[in-house]
Amino acid sequence: MELAHFDTAGARVITVNEHRIDAAIAISFKDRMRELTDQGPDRIVVDMTQVDFIDSSGLGAIVAAMKQVGPSKSFELAGLSGTVQKVFKLTRMDTVFTIHATLETALGGPIADAG
């Protein structure tokens, strides 16, 4: 499970460096997300630009990650592919998550801190 992260002035950006979030990596995804969200900024933005497939286990892992951060932090998604976006719409999870078209729009401008 490859997740990268960096902090901006007001957010922790977590980039999913996988093409799939499915049953094979769902548990490691949840564990790694817990490590990356336990501390840091109160806003979490998950960049899913590279993810082109998600199954029910993957969706469950993303929901679990959101629940792990709790109500005191913001948990947002960015860069969903068309296929992944369809899964969120079909399951009505698009009404549960704040979803941004791109990471740049989520952060309100060019990404200068990605260093």
The DSSP output letter for 100 is: E
Q: For residue 111, tell me if it sits in a domain.
A: no
Residue 112 lies in a domain: no
Domain count, the chain: 1
In a domain, 17, yes or no: yes
Mean pLDDT confidence for 34-63 = 96
Residues of the chain with pLDDT > 70, as a percent, come to 94
Range of the domain at 59: 6-105
pLDDT tens digits for range 73-84 = 999 999 999 999
CATH code of residue 41: 3.30.750.24
Tokens of 1: 């499970």
**Over residues 49-54, mean pLDDT:** 97
Please name the amino acid found at residue 107: L
- How far apart, in whole angstroms, are the C-alpha atoms of residue 69 and residue 66? 6
| C-alpha span between 105 and 27 (Å, rounded) | 29
Query: Is this model's pTM higher than 0.85 or not?
Result: yes
